[in-house]
Structure 1
Amino acid sequence: MDASVGGPGPWDRSRWPSITPVPAPRNPGRTRVQILDAALGVIADRGHAGTTMQRVADTAGVDKALLHYYFTSKAGLLAAAIVHLGDRLLADVEAAVAGLDDPAEVVEVGFGTMWDHVVGDPRLHAAWLSLYAAAITDPALAEPVRKVRARYREMVRARLSAMLAAGWRASLPDAAMVTLVLASIDGFTVALLEDGRTPALDEAIAATQEMVRALFGRA
């Protein structure tokens, strides 16, 4: 039908319902962090597969449209959550060990700070392990997870370089030492999430710290 006869035709844009735009939040930085923290909580509780945009929105107390405003999709949200999680996991440890070059201090302060973080917020580490496992088969998560792991390795490697520069020597090659430290943290975190903090776990941690310290001697 000719649109000039009998009123506007179906493709006349004036007949389409208006779409209310998502208003920009008053404090976008805080709202974004609020959403990412909520996402980590949902991931810790339900895992990667059980995390949905609606559940995150409900947990954060915001409209789901805001999640699309910030992150476009679930993949974008999860990728941002991984980066945010890396900041939360590592910032305190990086600050605590900065400038240290004595093996005993590095092991005690670095390992202690990391472990206090694990014990103090195990759900955060449960979220990390869930995302880390999901990244093995989900290419969208692989790259942000790789970057967080690289940041872990670089932190350990930097302290190792500082110790060597201060006149210490290590019994293991650099790559093996970095792998040992990271694997220890990963393994103890899994043990904590499975059985809680037990005397056996504390003993194993203390023995591992002593073992790492013993791998260093004066050049």
Structure 2
Amino acid sequence: MTRMPLVDRRRQLTEAAIRAMARDGVPRTTTRSIAAEAGVSLSVFHYCFDSKQALLESVITVITDHYVGVVKQALRPRDTVRETIRAGFGAYWDHVRAQPEEHMLTYELTQYALRTPGFEPLARRQHERYGEIYLELIEQLGAAMSLELAVPAPVLARYLAAATDGLTLNFLVLGDDEPAFAAILDMISDQVAALAEDPGRREATQAERP
């Protein structure tokens, strides 16, 4: 077996766990089946992860990493704030449509954690992380386009996390109705753009008011 750095081995096992759990479900996926999926011995698995909770935390992090990178790249400034925001949502939605099994797994992980004694903090951390990611994206956009928000950034971040979480579940249940989901993403983009303005434009607008 090829030796590799611990961080790389953990990533390999996490990716294998994602494939196994997406295929077989979280409760039916064992450490032995994950090791087999990764092509390593069971002892290697236990060297990399000392608990199932540590593995599940890694799974949640890596699944999130899969789409956060493309969203951050899509948020490069465009002609308008609204176009930039819509591009970010579009990148996320492209990932949902391309990898529905990964997004379905995130909901299964939440349910598993909530129903398994001792694992409840994992579900809380999972959804706290969603809010943190949106806060990072909001700050990235604000810095790149010199924006000021009409609402506190943490509030907007939590709203967007809840909105996209619900919309993704809606897609997984109802199927791919592209025109409908595109219209919803347009609407969310309009809402967010209305809450994010260039300070100069806002001052000019206020000056014009009687």
Scaled by the length of structure 2, what TM-score is found? Answer: 0.74
Higher deviation after alignment, 59-68 or 205-214: 205-214
Q: Matches of 2:89 and 2:124 in 1, distance apart?
A: 26
1:30 and 1:94, CA in 2 relative to 1: closer, same or farther beyond 3 A? Answer: same
Which amino acid is 1:210 matched to?
A: D
Q: 8 Å contact 1:82–1:144 — kept in the other structure? A: no
- The match for 2:138 is 157
Which amino acid is 1:213 matched to?
A: A
Shift of the alpha carbon at 1:102?
4.7
Higher deviation after alignment, 89-98 or 119-128: 89-98
Shift of the alpha carbon at 1:100?
7.0
- The match for 2:4 is 27
Q: Which 4+ residue blocks in structure 1 deviate beyond 4 angstroms?
A: 98-102
Number of residue pairs matched by the alignment: 194
Higher deviation after alignment, 93-102 or 43-52: 93-102
Unaligned runs of 5+ in 1: 1-22
Could you give the per-residue CA deviations for residues 18-50 of structure 1, whole angstroms, max 9, x where no partner exists? xxxxx7x42245443221111112222343323
Q: Matches of 2:84 and 2:147 in 1, distance apart?
A: 15
Q: Does 1:183 align with 2:169?
A: no
Could you give the per-residue CA deviations for residues 45-88 of structure 1, whole angstroms, max 9, x where no partner exists? 34332321122123223222221121123222222222222322
Q: 8 Å contact 2:85–2:193 — kept in the other structure? A: yes
Please list, as runs of the form range in 1=range in 2, the aligned pairs for 1:52-201 lying within 5 A after superposition: 52-97=30-75, 102-137=80-115, 138-139=119-120, 141-142=122-123, 144-145=125-126, 148-159=129-140, 161-162=142-143, 166=146, 168-170=148-150, 172-198=151-177, 199-201=179-181
1:152 and 1:166, CA in 2 relative to 1: closer, same or farther beyond 3 A? Answer: same
Q: 8 Å contact 2:135–2:154 — kept in the other structure? A: no
Task: Name which of 209, 212, 216 aligns with 2:189.
Answer: 209
Which structure has the larger Rg over C-alpha atoms?
A: 1
SS of the aligned residue for 1:72 comes to coil
Q: 8 Å contact 1:57–1:64 — kept in the other structure? A: yes
1:143 and 1:174, CA in 2 relative to 1: closer, same or farther beyond 3 A? Answer: closer
Shift of the alpha carbon at 1:169?
4.8
Higher helix share: 2
Shift of the alpha carbon at 1:115?
1.1
Q: Matches of 1:107 and 1:51 in 2, distance apart?
A: 38
Q: Matches of 2:146 and 2:174 in 1, distance apart?
A: 39
Q: Matches of 2:45 and 2:101 in 1, distance apart?
A: 22
Q: Matches of 1:184 and 1:215 in 2, distance apart?
A: 16
Unaligned runs of 5+ in 2: 203-210
Shift of the alpha carbon at 1:101?
9.7
SS of the aligned residue for 2:191 comes to helix
Q: Percent identity?
A: 29
1:149 and 1:110, CA in 2 relative to 1: closer, same or farther beyond 3 A? Answer: same
Could you give the per-residue CA deviations for residues 163-199 of structure 1, whole angstroms, max 9, x where no partner exists? 7x725553x4434322332222112211221122113
